Structure 1
Amino acid sequence: MPRNDHERWQMDLEEYIRQGEPEQSEKSTAWKTAIGLQDVDGLKTSEYLLETAKEHIEGKIDIKTAQKRIQSYYEERQTQSEIEEGTKEADIVSARITELLGERTFQFSPAEWKTIHKRLFKDIFPHAGEYRTYNITKSEWVLNGETVLYASADSIRDTLDYDFGQEKNFSFEGLSADDAVKHIAKFTSGIWQIHPFCEGNTRSTAVFVIKYLKTFGFSINNEIFAENSWYFRNSLARANYNDLGKGISATTIYLERFFENLLMGYQNELKNRFIHVDYKEQSAIQSAKSAIEKDLKCNNCTLEELAILKELLKNPSITQKELAGIIGKSERTIKTRTVEMQEKGLIRRENGKRNGRWEVLVKL
C-alpha cells in the first residue's frame, strides 16, 4: 500500500477517535493499537485489512465477520506472489488483538497469558500458546547487537509462577502514582524477560499488560502503544541488560517514561535513540524535562485517585454511580474516595449534589 494511502487511512482513523461516537472511538483506538504493535516484528498491514477495519469501526460488520473476511482473503490467494510480503501475519494478528482489546474479560495468571498468545497466533506459529522448549538469544539494535539473557527453557513455569505470585500479593493501596508506575514497569520487564514463547512475546505481553492495567479502572490510552510500540520493545530490552565492564546497568527508566505517558498523561519524549546503550548526551536534558513536567502533575495521587480525576475531567457532571461503573469500584468506595480527594484539595464540588459539577484542582 503506498505511503500516502497509509497516511490518509491514519488520518481517517484519527478522525474516528476525535469525533466519532464513543463505540467508534474505542474500536478505532483498538485497531490503531493492534496495527501499531505489528511494527515490533517489522510487519505491515495490507490495504484490505485497513478497509475491513473501517467497516468494523462504522458498525457495518462485527469483529468476527472482520476476522473471517481477512482469513478468506488469504485462503483465496493460492500463491505467495498473490500475497503482499509480510502482510498475512500482520492482518490476522491485528484483527485478533482488536477482538481481545474489545473484550471485558481478564484473569491475572500465566494461563491467561498463554491463552492470549494462542488466540493471537493460532495457525500462524506451530507452537502458539505453548512454552518454548529450547533456550534463545536475540540480537538487539538497542544493545549494539548483544542479547538479553532470557530465562532458560526449563525454568519458565517456575519463574512465571513466582513473578505472578509476587504480583498477586502486592498491594497498590495508598501507593503514589509515580511509585505505582515504577512497580508496573518492573513487573512488565520481569515477565517479558522470561520470554516464555518461541515468537510473538512482545505483542502478547502488550495485550496482557493493557488488559491488566484496565483492571485498575483506567481508560488506557492505547494510542501510546500504537505510536510507540518499537520504543516499548526497546525499553524492555534495555531494562534487562547489563554490561558492567562498559558501565551499562539494566534500567527501567525508559519503560517508566512510557507508562507515565500511558497512565498519567505525561508528555515524555519517547525516542528510540535515547534508549541505545551508546546514547549519552540526552540523559541530562530528558531527566530535567521529566522533572519539570512532574512538578506540574499530581505526584501524590494514587492510581485509583488518578483514574477518578481523569473521568471527572472528561465529564464534570458525572454521577458517583456512573463513576463507579466506569472505574469498576463500588459506589460506596467512590463516595469515600471523592470525600478524601476533596479533603486533600484534589477536587471540589460546585452547586450541590443534584445539579452540581466536579472541578479538578490539579493538573494531569
Structure 2
Amino acid sequence: MLFIENEYKKIQETTDKYKKQKYWKIAVGLNQVDDLKPSEELRKLAYENINNIKTYVEVEDELYKYYSKSEKINKSEYECDLVSLKIVELLDNSSFNLTVNALASIHKELFEDVISEQFCGKFRKFDIQKYEEILNGDSANYGNFRTIEEDLKDIVEELNTRKYEINNTNDIVKLAVDCVKKIWDVHPFVEGNTRTTTVFMLKFLDSLGIEDVSNDLFKDNTKYFRDCLVLANYSQLNRYNEFIKPYIKPLYRFFEKFLINDKLELIEIEPVHNNKYYNKIENPSKLMEYEGLNEDLDLDW
C-alpha cells in the first residue's frame, strides 16, 4: 500500500529568541493595563522559554505546580502569569481568521482558569461603565450589550472588505487603529477587553505580514495606550455647554511609533474636564452659577 506523505505540518513553537523576547515583553506589558505584575517565578520561566530551555507547555506545567504549592496565592500575579503565557502562545501561533468567533476564542484562551466561566469567551449580557482617571472619573462610552454581536460583525465585515495598500504606511496605521479602536469601543466582554482586542489586532497584522518596529512600546506604555483608547472613544457635552470630541491623534501616533518609526515622540495627554466631578475642575469660579443645583427640583409642567 502506498502512503502519501502528509504535506500539512503542525505549527511549532518558534526557537527564535528575538521573537520570543518580543512576545514576552508585549504580553507582560499588556497586563500592566490592569496594574498586574508578574511573579518572580514567571520571570525565571520566561527567561528559560526565551532561551529555549523550556517550552510553553513546560512553562505552563511549572506555573500550575508553583501555584498549587503556594499557601497563599497572589491573585494579581496569578492572573498576570497565566494570561502573559497565553498571550505569548497566541502571538507565536500564526493561525488566524478575521472573524467574530476568533475574537471570542482569543478571550476564552486568555482568561480560562482566570475569570468566571460564565464570562470566559462570552459576550457580556449587561451594560457596563468604568471609572477612568483620564476622564476625571467619568466612563468611556461602551456599546450596548444588546447589539454587541451585530456591531462586531459589521466591524469584521468592514475590515475584511477594506481596500488598502500593504506598502502604504498610512493605510496600515489606519487599519491597526480602526481594528483596535472599533472593537474596543464595543467592549464586548465583562473583563479583559484591552488585552483581548490588542492580541486580536496584533494577530491580524501578523496575518498580513506586517511587523512592528518598536519592541518595548507596549511594555513601557500600556497605561498610556489604554488612555489613548479612552480619549479616542469619549464624547461628552460638559457643564459649560462645550462638546468634548473624541481625541484620536495620540492613538494614531502610538501606532505610527509602533509600526513605522520608533524614534517618534508620543503625544502628551492629560485628563479632560467633564460635568460630573467638580473637584477636578481647575477653575472653581466657574462653578458659581451652579450653586443652586443642590436645591430640590420638580418637573416643569
Pairwise TM-score range, normalised by the shorter structure? 0.7 to 0.9
Q: Is the 8 A contact 2:26 2:219 kept in 1?
A: yes
Asked if 1:254 is matched to 2:247, the reply is: no
Q: Is the 8 A contact 2:15 2:52 kept in 1?
A: no
Distance 2:171 2:203 in 1: 20
Q: Is the 8 A contact 1:67 1:96 kept in 2?
A: no
CA-to-aligned-CA distance 1:36-82 (integer Å, 9 cap, x gap): 111101111110000011111111110111011112211222x4xx3
1:212 to 204, 213, 217: 204
Which residue identity lines up with residue 50 of structure 2 in the other structure? I
What is the match of residue 68 of structure 2? 75
Per the TM alignment, residue 85 of structure 1 is displaced from its structure 2 partner at its CA by 5.4
Q: Is the 8 A contact 2:94 2:207 kept in 1?
A: no
The 5 A counterparts of 1:133-152 are 133-152=125-144
Aligned-partner SS, 2:16? helix
Distance 2:96 2:175 in 1: 20
What is the match of residue 28 of structure 2? 35
Per the TM alignment, residue 195 of structure 1 is displaced from its structure 2 partner at its CA by 0.6
Asked if 1:92 is matched to 2:85, the reply is: no
Aligned-partner SS, 1:88? helix
1:265 to 256, 261, 268: 261
Asked if 1:199 is matched to 2:195, the reply is: no
Distance 1:73 1:174 in 2: 44
Which residue identity lines up with residue 128 of structure 1 in the other structure? C
Distance 2:45 2:179 in 1: 36
CA-to-aligned-CA distance 1:243-266 (integer Å, 9 cap, x gap): 243342102211100110111014
Task: Please report the TM-score for the alignment, with normalisation by the length of structure 2.
Answer: 0.79
Q: Is the 8 A contact 1:186 1:252 kept in 2?
A: no
Which residue identity lines up with residue 60 of structure 1 in the other structure? I
CA-to-aligned-CA distance 1:79-102 (integer Å, 9 cap, x gap): 4xx334521101111111111111
CA-to-aligned-CA distance 1:276-320 (integer Å, 9 cap, x gap): 326xxxxxxxxxxxxxxxxxxxxxxxxxxxxxxxxxxxxxxxxxx
Asked if 1:107 is matched to 2:97, the reply is: yes
Distance 2:187 2:180 in 1: 11
Aligned-partner SS, 1:27? helix
Per the TM alignment, residue 207 of structure 1 is displaced from its structure 2 partner at its CA by 0.8
Q: Is the 8 A contact 1:106 1:211 kept in 2?
A: yes
**Structure 2 residue ranges without an equivalent (≥5):** 1-13, 274-301
Task: Please report the TM-score for the alignment, with normalisation by the length of structure 1.
Answer: 0.66
Q: Could you say what the CA RMSD is over the residues aligned between the two structures, in angstroms? A: 1.9
What is the match of residue 123 of structure 2? 131
* Cα distance change of structure 1 residues 36 and 111 upon mapping to structure 2, 3 Å threshold: same
* Cα distance change of structure 1 residues 23 and 151 upon mapping to structure 2, 3 Å threshold: same
Per the TM alignment, residue 267 of structure 1 is displaced from its structure 2 partner at its CA by 2.7
More helix by share: 1
Which residue identity lines up with residue 181 of structure 1 in the other structure? V
**Structure 1 residue ranges without an equivalent (≥5):** 1-20, 279-364
The alignment of Structure 1 onto Structure 2 pairs a total of residues equal to 254
Q: Is the 8 A contact 1:172 1:180 kept in 2?
A: yes
* Cα distance change of structure 1 residues 28 and 49 upon mapping to structure 2, 3 Å threshold: same
Distance 1:76 1:35 in 2: 23
Per the TM alignment, residue 186 of structure 1 is displaced from its structure 2 partner at its CA by 2.8
**Misfit runs of 4+, over 4 Å:** none
Per the TM alignment, residue 171 of structure 1 is displaced from its structure 2 partner at its CA by 0.8
What is the match of residue 314 of structure 1? none
